Structures are given as structure tokens and as C-alpha cells.
């Protein structure tokens, strides 16, 4: 086992003491797409003690271009990403404990997921979840590392509660609109650059080398050969409702949560029901079979009708494929799932 991590422990800032700390660390990765698969593999190979993965989606053909470890078989079977990733990671390093959650991250289940967590890694595709992560980070004093990619552009920033500016300090409200992977596409090399920055910062934190942390927000565009490093510490605001002197954690409030979302890179709307009651997938499949094509595995049910496909997960969420119109998606949801 010492030989397995020998090249990492030979790096003097980590050494055997840092490796020991890493092997007792618990990392929570939110999202199992391009960023999530890369960072999860990185820390599985590095020998982290435990990695918890939370993702709401399943593997599709368009994912294979940039989301490492997934296979054509995963896409054919529409395997939930968290489950597929867990299987691949356990084949790489059986000593790392991998916990997979097929779920849409909310303030309530994130409170449960962070038990014993030393660090959160952002691998999401929307700012609502990032702002929830930001408030959870401040509330429970857990560092997290922001990362985002679109087109050939990437950005990363390390947030340490009580020390750095938080994400809310830098944004008065959750950004709306702008480029997404749906409108601008994405190339694989930018994913690796962002996760390299996230991974290096995470290693510093988990091996006890916080003095080496990068304090600036970094961004880069690989296609136009641009790179910037911005000092955002001046933006830290004592009146910030997330990290200020009297925080209220606004993004953990139910009133601030969106129940529908247009998913990045897909003609798809997610609908998250208010009820937490788990659906009976077998019974639902029987009810829908006369109305269209039904496919089912232990984790989800897929129902195709006309130009639309609706995917029902065990937690009650539904992905409505074939539309980006929320009103149309709601109509289809209520038509087939009440």
C-alpha cells in the first residue's frame, strides 16, 4: 500500500503525514458530470478515505464526449450517474469508501449529506445549488471549491468560511441567463484544467497545507489563450447574509428554492415535487404501458410518448425531455404523474 502512493508521498509538502490525513478525509462531490467524474477519479487514485457523490441525472450519449469513466453501456442502460461512477471508482481503488446518492440536492438533504465531511467540491451545472452549498459551507464551517466550465472557458475559487469572500459576497443575486453548455457547447480540455485547479486546492486543504492555498479567483479561456487571476478578498462583506456578522443563510430558505429547472445542455426540464413520498415504479410502469413505450431499471422509469420522454426517479423527480418550456413540461408531468 505504501508503494501505491509512493510518488505522492515523495512530494515533500504532502509526505507520509499528509497522506495519512488524506486517507482519513471525507470529500463530498456535488454533481457527477464532467467536473465530478474527473475530481472523483483524482481523489480515488490519490487515496482519500471516503468520497460521497450526489447527482440527480443519468448517463446519456452526449455525456461521453467529456465525462470520463462512463461507457456506451452506461448510456444504453440510462444508468444513474452516481451509481455508474461508484462502480467505476470501486474498480480503481477498493480501499476508498464510495457512497452514491441519486438525488437532487436541496438544503434539507445537503444538511444530511455533510455529516463528517471535510470538504465540498462543486461539480454542478447551476447557481441555485452552488448558493445552497455556499450557505451550508458558512453555516457548518466546511470549505468548498467552486468550479464551472462552458465552451472553452473555466473558473475556480476556493472558499474558506471565516477567511475568504463567499460566493454570495461576489453576487448580489443568483445570475440568470448567460451562456450555458446548451448555447455555447463545451470542450473536454477545459474540464481538465478546472479540475486540476480544484484538485490541487483540495489536496492542500486535506493534507494540512492551507498556507499554500491560492487566494485569488482564477479564470481561463483555452481557445483564446487568456488567463486571469483576480483578488476578490476586498469583496468580503460584513453585511453579507451568508457569511457576514449576522448571517441568515437565505439560500437555505424554502421560499428561495426553485421547483422546476431547465437542465444545462439538454432540451429538458426537471420537475421536483413538493411531496417526498417515493413512487412505486413498478405500479407506475404498469399504468403507463398502454399509453406509450416504458423502460425500467431498479433506479428509474422511462416513458416515451410522441416527441417527449419522461423519466421518473425513485425520489419522485421527473425529467421531461423534448421541451425547454416549463409550462409544457408541467402539463406533461401532471398528465402522466398527477
Same domain membership, residue 206 and residue 96: yes
Give the position of cell 457569511. 243
CATH of the domain at 166: 3.40.50.720
* Residue 336 contacts residue 310 (beta carbons within 8 Å): yes
CA dihedral 86, 90, 93, 97 (to 10 degrees): 70
pLDDT of residue 118: 98
Same domain membership, residue 244 and residue 111: yes
Percentage of residues of the chain with pLDDT beyond 70: 92
Same domain membership, residue 212 and residue 105: yes
SS3 letters across 51-109: EEEEECCECCHHHCCCCCCCCHHHHHCCCEHHHHHHHHHHHHCCCCEEEEEECCCCHHH
Same domain membership, residue 227 and residue 280: no
The verdict on residue 59 lying in a domain is: yes
Same domain membership, residue 266 and residue 157: no
Domains in the chain, number: 2
Same domain membership, residue 197 and residue 59: yes
User: What does the alpha-carbon distance between residue 122 and residue 330 come to, in Å, rounded to a whole number?
Assistant: 29
User: What does the alpha-carbon distance between residue 237 and residue 241 come to, in Å, rounded to a whole number?
Assistant: 9
14 vs 260, higher pLDDT: 14
pLDDT of residue 173: 47
337 vs 184, higher pLDDT: 337
Task: Encode pLDDT of 232-257 as tens digits.
Answer: 888 899 999 999 999 999 999 866 66
The verdict on residue 1 lying in a domain is: no
Please state the rounded mean pLDDT for residues 146-161: 95
Burial class (CB within 10 angstroms; exposed 0-12, middle 13-18, buried 19+) of 283? exposed
pLDDT of residue 142: 98
Same domain membership, residue 267 and residue 144: no
Domain boundary (255, 271, 298) is at 255
pTM of the model: 0.84
Domain boundary (255, 284, 319) is at 255
Please state the rounded mean pLDDT for residues 299-308: 93
Domain boundary (230, 255, 280) is at 255
User: What does the alpha-carbon distance between residue 119 and residue 140 come to, in Å, rounded to a whole number?
Assistant: 11
CATH of the domain at 301: 3.30.310
pLDDT of residue 275: 62
Same domain membership, residue 135 and residue 215: yes
Of the pLDDT bands very low, low, confident and very high (cuts 50, 70, 90), residue 170 is: confident
174, pLDDT greater than 50? no
User: What does the alpha-carbon distance between residue 95 and residue 104 come to, in Å, rounded to a whole number?
Assistant: 27
Burial class (CB within 10 angstroms; exposed 0-12, middle 13-18, buried 19+) of 25? buried
Please state the rounded mean pLDDT for residues 255-269: 76
User: What does the alpha-carbon distance between residue 78 and residue 295 come to, in Å, rounded to a whole number?
Assistant: 10
Same domain membership, residue 193 and residue 56: yes
Average pLDDT, rounded, for the chain:
91
Task: Encode pLDDT of 2-58 as tens digits.
Answer: 799 999 999 999 999 999 999 999 999 999 999 999 999 999 999 999 999 999 889
User: What does the alpha-carbon distance between residue 63 and residue 69 come to, in Å, rounded to a whole number?
Assistant: 10
User: What does the alpha-carbon distance between residue 45 and residue 290 come to, in Å, rounded to a whole number?
Assistant: 47
Same domain membership, residue 221 and residue 310: no
**82-91, 93-102, 149-158, 286-295: which has the minimum mean pLDDT?**
286-295
Domain housing 54: 6-255
Task: Encode pLDDT of 194-241 as tens digits.
Answer: 999 999 999 999 999 999 999 899 999 999 999 999 998 888 999 999
Same domain membership, residue 176 and residue 121: yes
336, pLDDT greater than 90? no
Query: Looking at residue 160, what DSSP letter applies?
Result: -
Amino acid at each position: 500500500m505504501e508503494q501505491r502512493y509512493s510518488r505522492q508521498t515523495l512530494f515533500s509538502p504532502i509526505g507520509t503525514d499528509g497522506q495519512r490525513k488524506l486517507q482519513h478525509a471525507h470529500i463530498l462531490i456535488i454533481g457527477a458530470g464532467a467536473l465530478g467524474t474527473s475530481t472523483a477519479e483524482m481523489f480515488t487514485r490519490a487515496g482519500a478515505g471516503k468520497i460521497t457523490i450526489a447527482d440527480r441525472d443519468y448517463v446519456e450519449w452526449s455525456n461521453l464526449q467529456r465525462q470520463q469513466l462512463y461507457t456506451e453501456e452506461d448510456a444504453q442502460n440510462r444508468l444513474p450517474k452516481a451509481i455508474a461512477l461508484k462502480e467505476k471508482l470501486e474498480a480503481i481503488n477498493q480501499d476508498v469508501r464510495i457512497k452514491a446518492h441519486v438525488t437532487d440536492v436541496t438544503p434539507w438533504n445537503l444538511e444530511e449529506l455533510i455529516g463528517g465531511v471535510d470538504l465540498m467540491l462543486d461539480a454542478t451545472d447551476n447557481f441555485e445549488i452552488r448558493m445552497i452549498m455556499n450557505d451550508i459551507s458558512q453555516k457548518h464551517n466546511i470549505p468548498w471549491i467552486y468550479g464551472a466550465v462552458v465552451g472553452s472557458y473555466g473558473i475556480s475559487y476556493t472558499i474558506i468560511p471565516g477567511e475568504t469572500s463567499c460566493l454570495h459576497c461576489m453576487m448580489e443575486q443568483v445570475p440568470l441567463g448567460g451562456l450555458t453548455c446548451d448555447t455555447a457547447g463545451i470542450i473536454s480540455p477545459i474540464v481538465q484544467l478546472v479540475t486540476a485547479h480544484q484538485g490541487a486546492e483540495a489536496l492542500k486543504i486535506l493534507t494540512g497545507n492551507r498556507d499554500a492555498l491560492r487566494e485569488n479567483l482564477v479564470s481561463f479561456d483555452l481557445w483564446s489563450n487568456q488567463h486571469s487571476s483576480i483578488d476578490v478578498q476586498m469583496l468580503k462583506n460584513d453585511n453579507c447574509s451568508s457569511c457576514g456578522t449576522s448571517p441568515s443563510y437565505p439560500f437555505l430558505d424554502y421560499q428561495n428554492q426553485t421547483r422546476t429547472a431547465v437542465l444545462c445542455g439538454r432540451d429538458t426540464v426537471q420537475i421536483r415535487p413538493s411531496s417526498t413520498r417515493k413512487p412505486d415504479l413498478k405500479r407506475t410502469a404498469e399504468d403507463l404501458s398502454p399509453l406509450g413505450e416504458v423502460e425500467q431499471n431498479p433506479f428509474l422509469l422511462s416513458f416515451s410518448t410522441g416527441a417527449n420522454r419522461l423519466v421518473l426517479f425513485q425520489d419522485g423527480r421527473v425529467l421531461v425531455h423534448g421541451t425547454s418550456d416549463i409550462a409544457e413540461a408541467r402539463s406533461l408531468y401532471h398528465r402522466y404523474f398527477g
